[in-house]
């Protein structure tokens, strides 16, 4: 089996992976692998925008303070300071690339405000900011002669000293690349590089109801965990308060920018209820709003809550939110300027992930991580709205700068063995095993959701351990394919979330325990596995 070599290997094609690739491509060859297509990412679905201090009415201290308040005491001060202070420079880069952020009537940027923000600081492109950024970055990587793109290629495992130890007795805790499945012919190939960037996105597909695309199965986090890389704070999963309630269909995100624009939340009787839960009303942080909707629906027996924009100028509503307008009209025949939008919370964003330092370096040599895959310490126990795209930009840039400065890998002569599947069997059991995916997602939704308890978490852990063992056994005996790999990765991520949640006997941010409803300062630290 021939190796596919490059100076840099990027796993993932969202904002973190593509922006990193563009920067290191000036100094070497880059291979980008993505298991679907370049635009099939969480980035492309991001509606709200990018938070940055660019207005004279705003300041760095306010953005830093808002981030820490949302993060409920667990944000790393140095990481937040770096992200917020470097944000304006990264925004200028996007502008130079050609991202057309919306302007107001005066020719300045049309800044929005979202939950948890004390100022208007969200740059956006209508309600499809992520899509606009994704398209610009894709165009630039396709134009770059130093970048080669491998679509429908899925990373199977990181290649570490575990694989080559007999050939390299002196090297430990080093990543050399990845075994990668070419999905079209189900052939596993060696992708080798001096430096590897894991930017494979989120993991919210571990839940039954999620705003994430099908690709968000936590592949990077699961691979890093299996390779012995440190993982942190997986108990903090953000549930977006407002996904479109349309039973039988995948949840569609109703942007937080709607509430920033002035929308109200109402219950089934038409009552505005957020005043019972937080004095910031609809603009409270996401964890508070999601729990409020959950509590309101459970106490009343309602299937959903409602987002009300009917009191706002109709033409402005339709022009500011064209994508949401179209989706509500297409799916439910709702005119959002005149009718209420039914909404429910859905799993949205994983605040934990692969631990990195301020330069994207993981606990393994030559392995970097950025974007939702990474835990930089920025988000703490709850991510502030529109800090996600910003975090990806800032820390992908810092990772690129770091690897450019470093010396190249000195282990280029290491022999990496071919992928060995000579003893595997066929997939006769696959029909039985694939049912584990829906069972896993249901367990996570029922027992490890917005409100948790020790009893429910232990029940989830028992059932998850059985599923995990079944899936690992099947994986070892079977020729792999994309579905099998995703199921394996989901089971690892679910296991990490449950284990992490059981180690935090308090309620903080996105982790709410009904039997430990208060914060406890002895847990004022990261949960590291």
pTM of the model: 0.93
Residues 382 and 435 reside in one and the same domain = no
Q: According to the model, what pLDDT value does residue 497 have?
A: 98
Query: Is the per-residue pLDDT at 1 higher than 80?
Result: no
Residue 109 is classified by DSSP as B
What is the pLDDT averaged over residues 314-327? 93
Residues 387 and 281 reside in one and the same domain = no
Q: According to the model, what pLDDT value does residue 428 have?
A: 63
Residues 287 and 210 reside in one and the same domain = no
Structure confidence at residue 435 as a pLDDT band (50, 70, 90): confident
Q: Quick check: is 297 in a domain?
A: yes
Q: Quick check: is 146 in a domain?
A: yes
For residue 507, how many other CB atoms are within 10 A of its CB? Answer: 23
CATH at residue 183: 3.50.50.60
Q: Quick check: is 133 in a domain?
A: yes
Q: Quick check: is 8 in a domain?
A: yes
Residues 298 and 381 reside in one and the same domain = no
**Helix 388-405 with 77-97: angle, nearest 10 deg:** 90
CATH at residue 450: 1.20.58.100
Residues 205 and 264 reside in one and the same domain = no
What is the pLDDT averaged over residues 345-353? 95
Residue bearing the bigger pLDDT, 369 or 425: 369
Q: According to the model, what pLDDT value does residue 493 have?
A: 97
Residues 229 and 280 reside in one and the same domain = no
Mean predicted lDDT score pLDDT of the chain: 93
Lowest-confidence range among 193-197, 420-424, 484-488, 497-501? Answer: 420-424
d(CA 367, CA 200): 13
Query: Is the per-residue pLDDT at 410 higher than 70?
Result: no
pLDDT one-digit tens code per residue, 213-241: 999 999 999 999 999 999 999 999 999 99
Q: According to the model, what pLDDT value does residue 421 have?
A: 80
Residues 165 and 273 reside in one and the same domain = no
Structure confidence at residue 411 as a pLDDT band (50, 70, 90): low
pLDDT one-digit tens code per residue, 143-170: 999 999 999 999 999 999 887 865 555 5
Q: Quick check: is 343 in a domain?
A: yes
Q: How much of the chain, in percent, has pLDDT values that exceed 90?
A: 81
d(CA 287, CA 336): 25
Q: Which two tokens stand for residue 86?
A: 């470097």
Q: Which of 458, 495, 467, 434 is nearest to 206 (CA)?
A: 495
CATH at residue 266: 3.90.700.10
Q: Which two tokens stand for residue 64?
A: 């830093």
Residue where a domain terminates, one of 361, 389, 405: 405
Q: Quick check: is 48 in a domain?
A: yes
Q: How much of the chain, in percent, has pLDDT values that exceed 70?
A: 96
pLDDT one-digit tens code per residue, 62-96: 999 999 999 999 999 999 999 999 999 999 999 99
Query: Is the per-residue pLDDT at 408 higher than 70?
Result: no
Query: Is the per-residue pLDDT at 427 higher than 70?
Result: no
Cα-based torsion angle of the residue sequence 158, 162, 167, 170 in order, rounded to the nearest 10 degrees: 110
Residues 227 and 180 reside in one and the same domain = yes
Structure confidence at residue 55 as a pLDDT band (50, 70, 90): very high
Q: According to the model, what pLDDT value does residue 167 have?
A: 55
Residues 220 and 246 reside in one and the same domain = no
pLDDT one-digit tens code per residue, 258-277: 998 999 999 999 999 999 99
Q: Which of 488, 385, 438 is nearest to 207 (CA)?
A: 438
Contact call for residues 127 and 257 (beta carbons, < 8 A): yes
Active site residue 5: no
Query: Is the per-residue pLDDT at 426 higher than 70?
Result: no
Q: Quick check: is 414 in a domain?
A: no
What is the pLDDT averaged over residues 384-408? 93
How many domains does the chain contain in total?
Answer: 3
Q: According to the model, what pLDDT value does residue 412 have?
A: 66
Query: Is the per-residue pLDDT at 97 higher than 70?
Result: yes
- Pairing of β 353-355 and β 264-266: unpaired
- The domain of 145 spans 4-235+351-405
Residues 51 and 91 reside in one and the same domain = yes
Q: Which of 90, 113, 131, 286 is catalytic?
A: 286
Residues in the chain: 529
Q: Which residues pair with 72 in a beta bridge?
A: none
Q: According to the model, what pLDDT value does residue 432 have?
A: 66
Compute CA 489 distance to the chain's CA centroid, rounded to the nearest angstrom: 15
Q: According to the model, what pLDDT value does residue 409 have?
A: 64
d(CA 116, CA 427): 49
Residues 15 and 146 reside in one and the same domain = yes
pLDDT one-digit tens code per residue, 460-504: 999 999 999 989 988 888 888 899 999 999 999 999 999 999 999
Q: According to the model, what pLDDT value does residue 362 have?
A: 98
Structure confidence at residue 13 as a pLDDT band (50, 70, 90): very high
Q: Quick check: is 419 in a domain?
A: no
Residues 81 and 137 reside in one and the same domain = yes
């Amino acid at each position: 089996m021939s190796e596919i070599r490059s100076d840099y290997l990027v796993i993932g094609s969202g904002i973190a992976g593509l922006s990193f690739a563009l920067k290191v491509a000036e100094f070497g060859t880059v291979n980008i692998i993505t298991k679907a297509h370049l635009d099939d990412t969480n980035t492309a679905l991001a509606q709200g925008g990018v938070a940055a201090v660019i207005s004279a009415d705003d300041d760095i201290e306010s953005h830093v303070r808002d981030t820490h308040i949302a993060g409920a005491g667990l944000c790393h001060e140095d990481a937040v300071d770096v992200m917020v202070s470097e944000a304006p420079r990264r925004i200028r880069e996007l502008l130079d690339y050609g991202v057309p952020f919306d302007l107001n009537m005066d020719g300045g940027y049309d800044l929005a405000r979202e939950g948890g923000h004390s100022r208007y600081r969200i740059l956006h492109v209508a309600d499809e900011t992520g899509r606009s950024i994704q398209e610009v970055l894709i165009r630039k990587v396709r134009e770059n002669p130093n970048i080669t793109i491998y679509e429908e290629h899925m990373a199977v495992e990181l290649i570490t000293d575990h694989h080559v130890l007999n050939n390299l007795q002196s090297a430990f805790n080093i990543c050399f690349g990845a075994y990668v499945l070419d999905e079209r012919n189900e052939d596993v190939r060696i992708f080798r590089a001096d430096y590897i960037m894991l930017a494979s996105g989120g993991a919210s597909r571990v839940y039954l109801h999620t705003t994430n695309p099908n690709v968000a199965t936590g592949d990077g986090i699961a691979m890093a965990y299996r390779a012995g890389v440190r993982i942190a704070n997986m108990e903090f999963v953000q549930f977006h308060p407002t996904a479109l309630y349309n039973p039988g269909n995948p949840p569609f995100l109703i942007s937080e920018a709607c509430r920033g624009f002035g929308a109200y939340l109402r219950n089934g009787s038409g009552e505005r209820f957020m005043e019972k839960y937080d004095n910031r009303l609809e603009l409270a942080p996401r964890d508070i709003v999601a729990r409020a909707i959950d509590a309101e629906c459970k106490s009343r027996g309602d299937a959903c809550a409602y987002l009300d924009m009917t009191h706002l100028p109709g033409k402005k509503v339709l022009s500011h939110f064209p994508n949401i307008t179209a989706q509500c009209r297409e799916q439910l025949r709702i005119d959002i300027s005149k009718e209420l939008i039914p909404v429910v919370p859905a799993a949205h964003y994983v605040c934990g992930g692969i631990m990195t330092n301020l330069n994207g370096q993981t606990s393994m040599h030559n392995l970097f991580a950025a974007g939702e895959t990474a835990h930089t310490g920025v988000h703490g126990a709850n991510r502030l709205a529109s800090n996600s795209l910003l975090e990806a930009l800032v820390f992908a840039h810092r990772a690129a700068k770091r690897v450019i400065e470093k010396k190249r890998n000195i282990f280029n002569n290491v022999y990496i063995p071919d992928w060995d599947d000579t003893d595997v069997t066929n997939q006769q059991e696959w029909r039985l095993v694939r049912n584990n995916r829906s069972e896993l997602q249901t367990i996570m939704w029922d027992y490890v959701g917005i409100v948790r308890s020790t009893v429910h978490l232990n029940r989830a852990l028992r059932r998850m351990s059985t599923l995990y063992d079944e899936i690992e056994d099947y994986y070892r005996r079977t020729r792999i394919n994309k579905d099998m790999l995703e199921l394996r990765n989901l089971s690892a991520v679910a296991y990490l979330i449950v284990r992490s949640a059981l180690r935090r006997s308090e309620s903080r941010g996105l982790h709410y325990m009904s039997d430990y409803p208060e914060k406890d300062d002895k847990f004022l630290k990261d949960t590291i596995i």
